[in-house]
Structure 1
Amino acid sequence: MFYAVVDIETTGGFAAGNGITEISILVHDGSSVVDRYDTLINPQQEIPAYIEALTGISNAMVADAPLFEEVAEKIYGLLHDKIFVAHNVNFDFSFVRHQLALSGYQLLCKKLCTVRMSRKLLPGHASYSLGKLCKALDIEINNRHRAGGDAEATAVLLEMLFQADTEGLILQTLSRGAKEQALPPNLHRSEVDKLPLSPGVYYFKDQKGKVIYVGKAKSLKKRVCSHFTGNNTSRQRQNFLKDIHNIDFEVCGTELMAFILEATEIKRLWPENNRAMKRFEQKYGLYAFEDQKGYTRLGIDKYKKDVPALFSFNTLLEGHNLLRILIREHLLCEKLCCIQRGRAACTAHAEGNCAGACAGKESAAAYNVRVKYATEQLKAMLPSFALIDHGRNEDEHSCLLVEQGKFYGMGYISHHADITEPAMLKSALQAYPSNDYILNMIISHAEAFPQKKIAI
């Protein structure tokens, strides 16, 4: 078995938008280095000043160097039938594979990460960065932050890992089903092994324990592992994977419960890598308020988090359509419902569809009675039901409660619980904030599976 110990220098941190400036490949037979290839590469883009300061590789140095496509055949020949070894292997592999693909070569080979293997076989070090780990292990690095020097140090580290591997852990890692090297460099395999195949919500955490991503899953283990596969070489993905140190999770009875918990947790924790769900907001609400003359007025306004709304809407049109239904059926005043503006009476008064509250011809007490009936009709229009489904085990059911058009909460109940009594049901459930996104998911699920729905 041959290993190709690789180190590269680049113009930046992600393969899709940056180029390789230098590559070193040391072919190792498990005992010693048997072949070597080093070259500068013209990346066909400017080398940033901070990169030049770090590596010492300048634009002038690579001006006459070969393009990657000119040495791609040589590089592919050295790598394609060997184990690709690097310190934080996914970084180097993503660049080399990307550049080879641009040159017409598809690199398919096994990978071995000396960061991950060092954590397993050489435990107890404060840092596993190449420089600090080599210093702790008395491995000399000549020409630090140059491909050749770092590759040589990685090859020495690989030999130390071979010596420390008394139980054949490296070969186990390289076995076809292990997929060890696909994991982020700072994530221990045990964090993935503990995940069940159940529905639920998972939390990726950084080194300090801060949640950086929340996700939902029909199968927790399969979904989490899917994050670590694929060919995405963007900066966002590279940084994201590098920051994952731990995984927490919560098992849910159903995938729908996982959807709801995910939406709630994203709003609560605001993780930096969750974007789409952050943008969802209820945009408009139907509000009731009393004016200076004592009339109860209805109106559509932008959604207010601290003011209870009679109903909420995603669009202004949706809100106005509902309000016009209440106006028509209860002879409410369009002016007092903020549909019409101006000092004169509303146009419906002249047509006999408004009793004249806007013109002072109907008392506030009389008008407010009709507003009360309108709001009660609105509440009657809003559904109240429970969704009963699988629990986390055979001894329980899952339950989601919608009360008067708002999601109350969810949880788990026994098979003998009195589902038709809302007060008793609420005592067994955990309350959650409601919004249109969650409510629409629940209603759509209830329509698709009416046998799970129980009216309350």
Structure 2
Amino acid sequence: MYAIVDIETTGSHAQDNGITEIAIVLHDGRQVEGRFSTLINPLVPIPAYVAGLTGISNSMVASAPLFKDVAGNIHRLLQGRIFVAHNVNFDYSFIRYHLQQVGIDWNARKLCTLRLSRKAFPGFPKYGLGSLCRSMDIPVHGRHRAGGDADATAILFERILQKGGDKMIREFLKKEASEQILPPHVGKEQIKALPLTPGVYYFHDAKDNVIYVGKAKSVRKRVLSHFTGMDTSKKRQAFLREIRRISFRDCPTELTAAILESIEIKRLWPAYNQSQKHAEQLLGIYVFEDARGYQRLAIDKKRKLLEPLLSFNVLTDAHRYLWKLVREFGLNAALCFLDRSIKDPVLTEEPELYNSRVQAAIDKIQSEKGTYAILETSMICSDVSCILVEKGRFVGMGLLPEKVDPFRIDHIKDHLTVYPENEVLKNMIRSYSDRYPARVLQLDQTAGG
């Protein structure tokens, strides 16, 4: 039992736009059982370009019923049927949202004739409804009107069924069901409570222990992504069964969420987190003088009694940075142990001249250990997101009200939460500062001290 649906709307997002027309074709898998269509007053003006595309004007919908007036009948027609549409998530999201707004909680299994057509009829240049109808000689009486497009989609659906579509439909429905499933102990209300803004989220088990920590630009979308897909491995299924509660912490930016995630993984050591739990390699770039008097930079494991010029937790990051110094200051790659093909490098210039360039590279490293703040626009409030690095060490992060002087370290610190530093976040901050120098505010470490 299918409901083949098409709608016209005032725009592309359900929360900010209304439905101007809906058509529903009822189909039993063999033939059409019935039709329903109506214009709807969206209670918002129809943009001129939409009116030009659909032919539906503000005057046409002025006397049409409101969605709430036809919602009960729409729900009755859709209830218990598989929802079918071309680019199904668009139509489904609008109808589900507007039904929710009038107090009707509706869910349905979905089929997308666009995706089904790609499978049933490979080789067409385009799979939009208009293109398919032209390629397959499907008549459309009223393109970009709900009734005409719904009838055309119904004919397309019948062509798919004739092409052995029963098997394809079962496969698509199975996949759709797996993508919508939530962990057995997590209700929809927990998902709805999650924000669409940056943050760190926590999965808790039956004893309320945190078993996984993650970060996201949009917490709700990222959490939902954990529950989609076709991974039926024993480990993943065990993971899903253990989740009983989801909590989160808001963060003003994606960077602060990434930093907090790293801190929380080190603090909580969650069972299902793999990254950042390995022992840190704690590599460093060191300087030493060889027997000929040449200053040499080298990557080595960190030593207890010797402070490196710069530390890393990933060897590739250390190599990348040292190569950057070699290119920028004209250093010898073999003397820096980056070119292993030359076992005993010979330089024609005097040590003093070469060493001056090495010192310039060291000075650059030291300058990067300065005191600065990363300032970004917050995505959760009007305050400014601030990350403070003092003398090369991460201090903490927080939100600065507009009245705070960002050049005064003592003023900044009053609004920060102090966090422990680790090699992962040090490299994260250093990389971010290199990538977005306009967001870095250099500070005088003595100001306000």
- What TM-score, normalized by structure 1, do the two folds share? 0.46
